[in-house]
Amino acid sequence: MKITSRLPVEAYVEGILSGDRVILSRAITLVESTLPQDQFLAENVVEKILPYSGKSIRIGITGVPGVGKSTFIEGFGKLLVEKGYKLAVLTIDPSSQKSHGSILGDKTRMEKLSSDKRAYIRPSPAGVSLGGVSAKTREAMLLCEAAGFNIILIETVGVGQSEIAVKGMVDFFLLLMLAGAGDELQGIKKGIIEMCDALVINKADGENITAAKKAKREYTNALHLFPVKENGWNPKVLTCSAIDQIGLSEIWQMIEGFVDQMKRINYLDINRSNQLENWLHDHIGYLLKSSFYENEEIKSSLTKNLSEIKAGKKSPIGLARELVEAFIDGISRK
């Protein structure tokens, strides 16, 4: 990603803190850039705004394709801004593994919310990061908080590894489900159920109402089989119709109850501290991997040996060990 013009660090910081959305968007574009000079500048911007971040409620929203995530976020988002909140929506668009391009169509799918001046929607390409989650979503979230947004919604691509990454950066994790799409309890993985703080059955309207009520009973019974979460919260099961604006207020009341309960036991602060530690280790891994593949000796050795790997004449495990040892040796000689 190329940045056509860069601002001084102070200009980004002042613009963000004053709520300038143009500067905020440029700052997010900066943190998404893969150019080394942009990454260094972005690190300085994030460092400067860090004391002004952390004052929002962070909510992750996921669900399989077709569950109605965009419709839900638009309806839920309208409810929140009408209550007086400043809302930022960070959506991750799937990237093509061939062209690395993405559609970035969330603003089109959330037409009403995107035109509301009280909300800010930022679609970002997933790129090649883990599970389709933008590697820079955390930084974008902090920038939005510093710009004065007090609720951040993060929408993931779908059910998969991306949920692990998003769970590690939000306060509340909401899983959207459909009723009547087969055997509900069989059709989802245990892991995603264990991670969610609430399971919401969307599209509970028209002929789906009976099926939604049945699914709610089944999921509620199933959740009782899981061990109690370390924070003492019992995940809730609710139904809603995002398109008809039914059940959205109850969902927000539940989230408010969760936040109040977590604040009473100081769990929000503990959880965020742990998330910052995990972010540190994640970024160390990212920087090490980047340095490894940018190393000229490593690139040369990979080029020489790749044909033998692909032909099955050389072990990938053996070559990986050789390359890593050569990389470490090169660092120690400097």
pTM: 0.88
Taking the chain (334 residues) in consecutive chunks of 10 residues, what is each chunk's mean pLDDT? 75 98 96 89 96 97 88 96 97 54 51 89 68 70 97 81 82 90 51 86 93 90 85 94 95 98 96 93 88 94 94 94 94 79
Q: Which domains does the chain have, with CATH numbers?
A: 1-51 (1.20.5.170), 53-265 (3.40.50.300), 279-333 (no CATH)
Q: Are 9 and 48 in contact (CB under 8 A)?
A: yes
Between CA 319 and CA 145 the distance in angstroms is 44
Q: Which of 158, 156, 188, 157 is nearest to 170 (CA)?
A: 156
pLDDT at residue 26, as a whole number: 96
Per DSSP, 169 falls in state T
pLDDT at residue 108, as a whole number: 53
pLDDT at residue 189, as a whole number: 58
Between CA 177 and CA 41 the distance in angstroms is 41
pLDDT at residue 135, as a whole number: 65
Q: In 3-state terms, what secondary structure has residue 57?
A: strand
The alpha-helical segments, DSSP class H, found in the chain are: 9-17, 21-32, 36-49, 69-82, 106-109, 111-114, 137-146, 162-167, 190-195, 209-223, 248-264, 267-294, 296-310, 316-333
Which residue bears the tokens 């820079």?
Answer: 136
Phi, psi (5° rounding) for residue 238?
Answer: -130, 165
Handedness of CA 92, 155, 58, 262 (dihedral sign): negative
